[in-house]
Amino acid sequence: MAIQLINLGTYANDGTGDDLRTAFEKTKDNFTELDLTRVISADNLGSGAPVFKEKIANNLKLRSIKNGLNITVTYTDNEISIATPDSINAVEEDPNPRLGGNLNLNGNQITGSGNILISGNVQAQTVTATTLNGNLTGNVTGNVTGIITALSGSSLIGSVTGNVVGNLTGDVTGTVSSISNHNLDGLADVSSVTPLVGQALVWGGSTWGPGTIVAGVSRIIAGTNVSISPTGGTGEVTISSLGGGGAGGDLDFGSFLSPSGFTLDLGSF
C-alpha cells in the first residue's frame, strides 16, 4: 500500500476537501504503512566483505570500495566496476610474479620447459623427472624417479631420503643407507656373493669375486745379470747367470725362516 494524500480542498470549509473521518483514516493507514516499511537496519548478504556499516538515527552508513594493488575501481550513476590492468590478466604477462602465500596445486601439475631454482628444502612423496640438471641444495624427502645430473664442477648437496630410480651422476657427500636394489656402474663387475672369513676379491677373468689367496711364492723375477726360465717365474724355475766369463750375478735370498715341516731345496747351485 502506498502513502495516501489527504485532500485539504482549496480553502477551509469549502466542501471540496476530505471530511474529518476520511482524513483520519488516511492518516491511520499512512502510519501503518510507515511502520511496516520504514528502514530500521540493513544486512550484508553472502560471505564477502560487508558494505553496510551501521545506522545512526535515520542515516545509513556504508563502507567505500577502495582500489588496492593492481586493482582499479570506477563507478557511474548505476554501476561500480572493479578491474585489473591488462598487463597482469595472466601470470605469463607478469614479468615478476610473486606469491603472497603457499601455492596449492589442488591436484594439478607444474609443466613446461625451463628451470626450477629453489633455495631451501624440497619435500615431496615422489619426484619424477626425465632429467634434474644442476645443483640441488637442500633436502629431498620422498622418491626420486629419473636422471639427476650435477653440472660440471658442482655437486649434489643435501640429503636424499627415499628411493632414487634412474641414473645419479655427480658427487654424493654423505651416507647411502642401502643400494640393495641398484648397481653402481663402477662396481658392475663385482660379484654379489658374500665372502667367507679370510677371503679377498680375486679377479676371475670377467668379474671380481670372493677367493682365497694361496700362501707362498707365486713368482720369481729376474734381477741384474740373472735369467729365469720360464720367464713367468712359475712352475719349475731355472736360474742362470748372464754375461759369461764369470760375470755372474747375485741371487740374494736374504734371511729365510723355515716353518715347521717345511724345507727349502735349492738343488745344485
Residue pLDDT, tens place only, 129-157 = 666 666 666 777 777 777 776 665 666 66
Instruction: Please determine, for residue 76, whether its predicted confidence score (pLDDT) is greater than 90.
Output: yes
Q: How far is C-alpha 261 from the chain's CA centre?
A: 68
Instruction: Please determine, for residue 123, whether its predicted confidence score (pLDDT) is greater than 70.
Output: yes
Structural domain includes residue 141? yes
Structural domain includes residue 215? no
Structural domain includes residue 166? yes
User: What's the mean pLDDT in 168-183?
Assistant: 69
Structural domain includes residue 153? yes
Residue 230: pLDDT band with limits 50, 70, 90? low
Closest CA to 41 of 26, 27, 60: 60
Structural domain includes residue 147? yes
Instruction: List Cα–Cα distances, 144 to 150, 162, 167, in angstroms.
Output: 15, 7, 10
Instruction: List Cα–Cα distances, 262 to 96, 191, 214, in angstroms.
Output: 86, 36, 16
Cis, peptide link before residue 230, omega less than 30° from 0? yes
User: What's the mean pLDDT in 156-166?
Assistant: 69
Question: How many separate domains does the chain show?
Answer: 1
Place of cell 736360474: 239
Structural domain includes residue 1? no
Structural domain includes residue 32? no
Q: In 3-state terms, the chain is what percent helix, strand and coil (to 5)?
A: 10, 25, 65
Structural domain includes residue 11? no
Range of the domain at 142: 122-186
